[in-house]
Amino acid sequence: MELSLTQYSQEFREQSIKFLKESGLTLVEAAKRLSPPKGTPKN
């Protein structure tokens, strides 16, 4: 099985972190709303 590494722009990452901090959601809830591959927010 080959893993695919998705590249996200620096802007997307910064906006995602800002969304997580300001939303009051858990990491899992925020990840579901942003819809990145599972595990990405931890990186």
**Domain boundaries of the chain, sorted by first residue:** 12-42
CA dist list (Å): 29 to 1, 4, 7, 32 = 28, 23, 21, 5
Q: What is the mean pLDDT of residues 8-21?
A: 89
- Backbone Cα Rg of the chain: 11
Residue 4's pLDDT band, with cuts at 50, 70 and 90, is: low
Q: Which residues contact 36 (CB under 8 A, 6 or more apart)?
A: 6, 8, 16
What is the band of 16 on the pLDDT scale with cuts at 50, 70, 90? confident
**Percent of the chain residues past pLDDT 70, beyond the cut:** 67
Q: What are phi and psi of 20, to 5 degrees?
A: -60, -45
